[in-house]
Amino acid sequence: MHGMRMAAETMTEQAQIVQAEVKKLDEVNVKYKTAADSHRRVKVFKEGDMVMVFLKNERFPVGTYNKLKAQKYGVYKIVHIINDNAYVVDLPSSFGIFCYF
């Protein structure tokens, strides 16, 4: 009986320590987010705006991309707004990729 009570007290203390650490982590994460968001530029585009398109290799079908291929593809028109951070861009069909960004 005595050993079980000690084990229960130890588990309770450990749970409290873990909860305190989780609370500290949450507070620190809020600080990190605030610092990161201070550098963030929020830009909302409208339909018809012209935007520069940068494409990474993940956007292309397998075997169609090489490292010497251009990453800046030019200025294209926004055709449709999905939400504040997602747009449909009027890309040429020769790219062979989806036009959602």
pLDDT value of position 25: 96
Place of tokens 């291929």: 69
Place of tokens 């020769």: 94
Structure tokens at 76: 């294209």
pLDDT value of position 23: 96
C-alpha–C-alpha distance, residues 79 and 86, integer Å: 11
pLDDT value of position 34: 92
pTM of the predicted protein model: 0.52
Q: Which amino acid is at 64?
A: T
C-alpha–C-alpha distance, residues 70 and 40, integer Å: 26
Quick check: 88 and 100 in contact, CB under 8 A? yes
pLDDT value of position 45: 86
pLDDT tens by residue, the chain, 101 residues: 667 788 888 899 999 999 999 999 999 999 999 999 888 888 888 899 898 887 766 656 666 666 666 666 778 899 988 988 889 888 887 777 777 77
Residues recorded for the chain: 101
